Amino acid sequence: MKILIVNADDFGKTKGINQGIIRAHTKGIVTSTSVMSLQPYADEARNLNVFPKLSVGLHFDLSDEKIKTRIREKSQLAPEEIIKVRDDFQNQIAKFQEITGRKPDHIDSHYQVHLHDDTKSIFKDYSDKFKIPLRHLSGVNCITNFFAGIKGVQKTGEGVSPIFLIKTLSELKDGIYELMCHPGIVDEELQKVSSYSAGREKELETLTNPQVLDQIRKLEIQLKNWQEIHDSLYC
């Protein structure tokens, strides 16, 4: 059995991203999204309960840019820096719950900061305590190569073409998978705040392409959200 969660990161960053994610869910294969709870348009997640088949999680985005850089460089963190990460995580969880009225269905992070050796336990302890799946650490295989900038093909978008995605999915073995994606609608605001803009619309085109959904059915891949596979992870 092949199970696929299609998770759209970055909800809340711009209106265009939010609109793209919702379209990718209602018109395409996206089954889940992750909210950046401190971003300008995170409050729009209040309305996501009108989509009962869309699971909603937290996309943790470390607020301290210096610590974020050190984590990306895989530097060892000082004790006070680890405390800052913990406080920031707790703050973003609290904000998420204020917006949505509940705990996240799943957790991931911007630039995978939750995988750093000095901070991993912060996220893992919360995940274990509340039985909330954590990207890469909960027995779900994460597909990370669906990206317009991969292998220098940013301009052509080959990394997010329907052909590329169908080929990737056709190679899956039995198991539970998460496809990480970043759909969005490009507007002036998005171009100002993100270097990854045009690629988001290319992703959106593929994620809503009827041929992709048709191939998923032919490959007998079951599209699920995080809520639907929760019991299989924590039984």
- The pLDDT score that the predictor gives to residue 48 is 97
Condensed to tens digits (0 to 9), the pLDDT of residues 111-149 reads: 899 999 999 999 999 999 999 999 999 999 999 999 986
The total domain count for the chain is 1
Q: What's the pTM value of the predicted model, to 2 decimals?
A: 0.95
SS3 per-residue string spanning 103-119: CCCCEEEHHHHHHCCCC
Domain region containing 230: 2-234
- The pLDDT score that the predictor gives to residue 150 is 52
Condensed to tens digits (0 to 9), the pLDDT of residues 185-209 reads: 998 899 998 888 889 999 999 999 9
Q: Is the pLDDT of residue 3 over 70?
A: yes
Give the pLDDT band of residue 165 (cuts 50, 70, 90).
Answer: very high
Condensed to tens digits (0 to 9), the pLDDT of residues 35-62 reads: 999 999 999 999 999 999 999 999 999 9
- The pLDDT score that the predictor gives to residue 195 is 83
- The pLDDT score that the predictor gives to residue 50 is 97
Give the pLDDT band of residue 153 (cuts 50, 70, 90).
Answer: very low
Percent share of the chain, pLDDT over 90: 90
- The pLDDT score that the predictor gives to residue 232 is 94
Query: Residue 193 sits in a domain of what CATH number?
Result: 3.20.20.370
Weakest-pLDDT range from 95-109, 148-162, 213-227 = 148-162
Q: Is the pLDDT of residue 152 over 80?
A: no
- The pLDDT score that the predictor gives to residue 157 is 64
Structure tokens at 120: 């991993």
